[in-house]
Every structure is written in C-alpha cells, then in structure tokens.
Chain A
C-alpha cells in the first residue's frame, strides 16, 4: 500500500483552483450561448412557423366545472342548493367600443344604474381578457331578444351560471355554513392536498359548516372540454369532452321543521339548542342564536354587512353550540350522583342534613346553597330533584378532584365530541394537572367543592352537554354526534346511509342508572325544579335544570335578578331526554343571561320535544309558519345576483372567530 501524502503548496493549490473556476465560468458562458442559439433558432429562423402556430392555436383545454352537491335535511328539504341562471357577460377587449356596446345593450335588456356601477368596478379590477358580467338572472324574454341581436354585439355573450342559495337563510347558518370565493389560503391548502387541479375553473369553496366539512364530497370532479377557439380566444365549438361529475348530495339528520322550532323558541335570546337522536348520535337540530344570512357570503360579503356581523356585541358569527363554553352548573349533578354511586362514595339511601351551606373542615368559608335555609334532610334522589348544592359540595370534597375528573371524562366532558363540523371547542374538565399547566398554580381544596356543582373552572359546550345526556339516555353508548345521515352518489343515484360511529361504551350498573333516571323524571314532576314547564306533557321527560353564574356573589349578598344588568344575569341551562322510558330525543338548551334554567331553558326544551314527539308546533309558530315560508320563498326569488368580485375582506378574518 502506498499512500499519496501530498504536501500542499498553498500557492500552487490556489492557482489550480482559480484555473478550474475559470474553466467552469467559460463552460457556463458557452452553455448560455447554446441557449441563445436555441432562442435564435426558435425566434428568428423558425419565427414564421411559430408565429402562425400561435395565431392558429385553436385548441384550448377548458375545465368543465361540476355542479355542487345539494345539502338536504332528513326529509329531503333543500338547505343549500344551486339554481341556474343566465348572465350577460362582456369581454371588454373584444367589443368595438365599450360605451356604444353598453348603450346598445340597454335597449335590449334592462340594465339598472347599480348594474353599471358594479360593472365599472369590475372593469377597474379585472385583467385583460376576462369576461365580466353586466346583468345576472336574465328573463327568458331577454335571452331571446339578445339572441336575435347578437350579431350587433361582438364580445358580448350569454352564459348559464350556477348560483348557490340557502333557502332557509339564517335558520341553518351555523350548521350548513356557506361557500365563498376561493382565496390564496384555500389555494395553498388545496395544492398541499394535491386537489388544485380539480378546482380549475371553480370559483367557490366551502368556508364554514357542512359546506366546509364535506367540501370534497360536495364539490365533485371537474371535467375537461377540448374547445376550438379563435385567435382572439373566443370559443367556437367543443371538440371533445370529459364530462364533469357532479358532487354528492348530502342528507343530514337535521329536521328543518324541528330546527325552525328550536330557532323560534330561542327567540331574541343569545344561546344554543342541540337535539340529538340517542339511537345513533344524529344531530336533529343545532341552533345558535343570533345567526346570520349565509346568502350574504356567497359572492363576497359587502363591507357594511361584514362590519355589522363582525362588530356586533352578540357575535352572530360564533357557533355557540360548539364554540361557546359555559359553566355546566347544576346540569353536572346527575353525573356527579352517578359517580358517587359507582365509585362507592354514596348509597342511594344515604342522607345528609343541608343547613343551607357547606364549609370545609377547619374553615369558616361558607359555600352556600341556592336555597338560603337549606333543603333539610336530603338523599341522592332528592338532591337531583331539588338541585341541592350542599349535597354535591360535600360529595365532591369526599370524592376528590381526580376521581371526579376521571369519572366525568367518560361522559365526554373536557374533550371534543368529534361532531362533523369544524371549530369545535373542548371545554374544560378541571384537574390539578390541568391547572398547573394552564395557570402554573396548585389546586386549592375549595376549587374541588365548587367543581361539584359545575362552577369554577368547569366549562362545557351545549354539544358536550347533549352528548353526556345522550349517554344516560341510551345506557352508555357514546356516539359521535353526526350531521351526515346519508349521501347520494350522482353517478349511480344510489343513496348510502352513513353508519353511526360508536366512540366508547360507558359501563354503569343498571340499577344505579335507573335511580338517576328516575330522579331526572321527578325533576319534571310536581316538586321538581322543572315541574312547571313539563306540566301536561303526555310523555315522561327526564331532565335537569342548571343555572350558571356569570358574576361572583359575595359572601353576604344574595343574587337578585332584577338588580343585575342583563349581560350579567345567569346563564340558563336545561338538559333532557324523552320519552324517559324509551328516549327518542335528547335536548340541551343554553340561554345566555337567560336567568334560570327552570324558568327560561326548560320551557324551550319542552316545545322542541313536543314538536318532535307529538308533531305539535309552538303557538307562536303555527300562525306565522305559513307566512314565513311564503315570505322566504318570495325573498329568494328576488335574490340579487351578487357581483362577481373578489371578497372585499380576506377570509382569514372571517373564519377566525375569537376563542
């Protein structure tokens, strides 16, 4: 073996390096000259040929946009659908003179000053060869009149366009959501998923709600048309065509009538109502008030309406059913009671004496019951029926926060329910670990006590409350709440049912569960907190009221509803299922600043259940119903074709509701 040890002479080595750099530089320059030679060949020697090729470049590949799938309720009523309409479009660069063209067109079709104004604005923003709409929704007569006069208007043509429409407007705003113009963020997301090619020619994409979660299914597959065009770019005829495949139609579990009932009963309150089918987790109604009109967003919302929605103190853009996290208050008590039984801290017959408050051993601080003088002798059942706080202060303290946390977690508190809508919040199921992570502070014993009545750090969304109640109603099956019920394949017309998804099974002793249920039924019977609102119902309701504090009350003060500003009034809650012996519906009602669960929330739930189980419309809705639906229909007929402009505001601002 011989080693080539080379002693480097820096001088020599450096020289060699410079030599090689020079060679590389000359090589690069020569290769550039090769490129230049190629350009010379193409642009000078072969110029004529390529020039005429470009002139006669007649074959363009034009995307054929699929029609978006409809969104329907369980009975097939359209919640979002398309309608086709003729628009008159002008390609300014191809008209003889724009002003003469516009003047001439005005004789043939009706062109309002508003149309002109919008057209001018588009013109200012558009690029060279774009075709711009001047009038939307032409009548048959206008189409015919233009067809006869077409030869007079080069660069003007009639196009059939599809418009998205939400016939129920505000009622489904937070569920169905809306589509809006594709923005850069959407483009980036699509190209990451490798879907951009399928969106060639598509202007709109789902931005919120079902429109967003099922975007891929709703959109369909874009086809391609090989089109012969003139050198100016105008299509002459279609040579061949791979037809687009329309999007899937999606059927939801929602019942449009039930949804409207729920919307009506909430009235002018801010709040949310969620109704689930305990047999499969299907979402029968999901209302968040106030809502907004999704039709405003389709072609870009105008700044005036946007500011109204965005700056409203009522936050109409927030879906309270999924994003509103509220203290669950007393609605947590049935689950706490079950925990006491299952974990062996309570027997059904155990009683306590409630003096109207509870104090931790060795402390003089009084955790007060809502009833000043207490409920006297209280057993487990009575603790639910009269909603005794003291019982649960004591139970929580004995059980400890960790046991509470672990048991309540089985019912879905503190984690997302997995409903097929985005933006869901997880709420808070507090534990010492959670507090250390969140606030870097230790857990205090008093915090366990108030967690026992769903106050303190505890937060749950109305959807979470509905899911937890559903688990009681169906003997422990944790279904993922699901909006989608079925879909229709556009190619085969076949309707496939979406399978319910079981996330977990909660094991409970049947006799214990029965005790809790019976107590919840008694809540709605005379002597219970929700007796008044259940009076006269021909079916048994199992329910629990809740009232969640918005502001703290000092030791020696009493809560006085009338003295407190509306915004500081308690949130009213009610969860229920019915009929109690064979549940067909689970309802969770949350009314912001509603006052009390028994007075405000429970009557609302009753009306929703009455409609679902008895087909009974609330008094207020019965008379209104016919008019309202007629009015909505009429309104949708006049729906102005929104201008073809980019959304005036970036969508990032729209979709990011404050947390």
Chain B
C-alpha cells in the first residue's frame, strides 16, 4: 500500500498551483459580491458556494484526464452536440420565444451551452489530425465544421451564443496558423456584411438592443432602462465605491438581474474604480497564467484547445463588463466565476481543468 502522499500526488498532481490560487482568490471575491448582490441572502451565498465546490471538483477530475483521451472524445462529442441541436430545431421547447431547450424526459438541456466547449475541441482535433499535411482546404473544412452549429444556434434564435461560439472557433483557427491575409480579409468581409445583417437578418428585438446602446436615453423606462441604471450604478460608485452592501442602485432594485448578468454593476457601485482595477488585475493574471500554460502544451491539439479556452474566458469577461458599462449591446453573458449560476461555473472551471491537464501531461505525449 503506497503512502497517502502518493495518492495525494496522484489526485492533485495535475493541478497548476498558481492558476488555482488565482481562481480561488476570484471565487472568494465572488462570494463577497454575492452576499451583497443577493440582498444579504445567506441561502443564495451558500448555494453559490455549492456550485463552486461542484465546479472545482469537476475541474480536478478533468485535470486528471490525459489530453489523448480528451482527443478521442472530440469527434463523438461534437457529433452528439450536432444531433442535439438538430433535435432542438425539430422538437425543442420554446421558452421566451426562442427554441433553445431539448426535453429529454428526465431533464431539459440547452445543447448550445454544450457546444461552447465541443466546438473548439472539434476544431483543435481536426487541425491536429491534419497537421502533417495541412493545407488551405483544411481551414475551409474547419470553417464549415464551425458554421454548422453556429447556423443551428442562429436559427433558434440566439445571436449572442452564436457569436461567442464563432469566436471560440475563430480563436482555434487563428492559433492554428490561419494566414494574416485571410484573417484581415474575413474581418473586412464581416464589416461589409454588417449592414446586410442589420437590414435583413436581425430580429427586431436584436436591432432594438443595438440601437439602445447608441442612445439609451431614447427609451429610458423601456428597453434602455437596464443600461441606464447599470451605467448610473457604475458611475456613481466613484473611485472608492459606496461600500459593501450599500449601493443604492443595487439595493433599491434599480438594477436588473443583480446576481447574474449585472453583478458587475453591483460590485462596481460598491467598490468603485479601485475595486474594478483589482478585479481586472485578477482576470488579467488568470488569463496570462492560462496563456503561459497553453504555450507549454506538448501537442497541437492541446495548444490550440487550451489557448482557445483562455481566450474565450477573456471574451466572456470583456463582453459582460462591456455590456453592463454601456460599451456593448446587451447579450445574456454572465461574468465568469462571479455571476450566480451552476452551468456557467462548471463550464468555465472544466475549461481550466483541460488547460491544466494539457499543460501537465506532457511527458506521456509524443509530438
């Protein structure tokens, strides 16, 4: 029987300690904010902690799975995801006007959530698989692999998720060495496409959200209300903030969705610019540590996947903060690891579990 230390090493051996420390700091900060954002509701804080524990456990387990094993799952998971999306399109449940949910009898799932990890995994796997003979055609195929799920999700309609999944695929292609000419060309084409999308493809409510961003005062009690109140909350926080649990915007119910999408406004109102600097610094440190781990990944699949995961993490933070401070249109994106919600918490930490696994399993991998 080996000593306990052996088992501990087996269990925690694939955890990156600096990254874990940074994540835990962020989670602790998140608990502090949650207490205030929930109107000092201890039950909500406890439930937030439960979500965290589950997600950390999932991260630990995933960190133990060697990248080769993950690679084996890439294709089946992707195909399963596509089938589920097809199921949603055919027999999905409609909630709030969008067809996003699939009822499996026991429970309802939202397959688009599932694709957030499945798509970058698939693309990374494909480029890895073809790396010996990589040519332009492969990037076209990869783009098609990306476009399929995005198309389904656009149809639901769920523009926000579609854009985020597109971004995750784009990150893989970018890190995979897509030539700069194509990148710039795609960016130009995207800009040219915007007016067409605006006129023909966007739904009214989506147009409304963008217009509202340009001039929220046009409809201060309707659609623009959330943004105005959130901006007031942030602005009135000043340099030092109004103090923990003392934000008037938050506590008097002017802010919508205080524990989920708009939790940053609560934080920013109560802890001010100083608090924002601390939070952004923490996020920046996590991102750089993540990129550092990705840089040391032993094979192409690992490099592409973990790089894309870290960049997605950044994207969520940026989109959420941009949204609540009135820089970006309202997209339902939670603030990673801070907002209330188990699914998002698990997805993000499982992502970091993959990053850790990829970075620490190198000895076993032949490149």
Contact = CB atoms under 8 A, between A and B. Distances in A.
Interface of A: 3-6, 8, 10, 13, 16-18, 20-22, 24-25, 28-29, 31-32, 34-36, 38-40, 42-44, 46-47, 49-51, 53-55, 57, 59-61, 127-129, 184, 192-194, 226, 229, 231, 233
B327 interface: yes
A28 B175 contact: no
Interface in B275-317: 276-277, 280, 283-284, 287-288, 291, 294-295, 300, 303, 307, 311, 314
B236 A47 contact: yes
Given A21-B291, A32-B280, A32-B284, A60 B248 contact: no
Nearest to B94: A194
A271 to B, nearest CB: 36
Given A24-B171, A47-B235, A51-B235, 16 more contacts: A5-B133, A5-B135, A17-B177, A20-B175, A21-B175, A35-B325, A36-B277, A43-B268, A51-B236, A53-B232, A53-B235, A54-B248, A54-B249, A55-B236, A57-B254, A184-B43
Contacts of B81: none
Contacts of B303: 17
Nearest to A47: B238
Interface of B is mostly: helix
A10 B108 CA distance: 45
A35 B280 contact: yes
A19 to B, nearest CB: 10
Contacts of A192: 95, 108
Contacts of A184: 43, 47
B291 A43 contact: no
B234 interface: yes
Given A51-B238, A53-B235, A8 B131 contact: yes
A57 B249 contact: yes
Contacts of A59: 221
A32 B276 CA distance: 11
B272 interface: yes
B134 A43 contact: no
Interface of B: 39-41, 43, 47, 95-96, 108, 131-136, 171, 174-175, 177, 221, 225, 229, 231-239, 245, 248-249, 251-254, 268, 272-273, 276-277, 280, 283-284, 287-288, 291, 294-295, 300, 303, 307, 311, 314, 318, 321-322, 325-327, 367
Nearest to B233: A54
A317 to B, nearest CB: 25
B346 to A, nearest CB: 17
A38 B251 CA distance: 24
A229 B234 CA distance: 21
Contacts of B136: 4
A25 B236 CA distance: 31
Given A5-B133, A35-B318, A21 B232 contact: no
Given A32-B284, A38-B325, A57 B248 contact: yes
Contacts of B234: 39, 42-43, 50
Contacts of B231: 42, 50
B251 A36 contact: no
B291 A35 contact: no
B273 A40 contact: yes
B314 to A, nearest CB: 4
A129 B174 contact: no
A42 B325 contact: yes
26 contacts: A8-B132, A13-B300, A24-B171, A24-B291, A35-B280, A35-B321, A35-B325, A38-B325, A38-B327, A39-B234, A39-B273, A39-B325, A42-B231, A43-B234, A43-B237, A43-B238, A47-B235, A49-B235, A51-B235, A57-B249, A57-B252, A61-B225, A128-B251, A184-B43, A193-B95, A226-B221
Nearest to B269: A54
B121 to A, nearest CB: 17
Contacts of B268: 39, 43
Contacts of A226: 221
Contacts of A128: 39-40, 245, 251
A645 to B, nearest CB: 13
A194 B96 contact: yes
Task: Kindly list the 8 A-B residue pairs having the minimum CB-CB distance in the complex, ordered from nearest.
Answer: A50-B235, A54-B236, A42-B235, A50-B236, A43-B273, A28-B314, A127-B39, A127-B40
B23 to A, nearest CB: 17
Contacts of A8: 131-132, 134
B295 A21 contact: yes
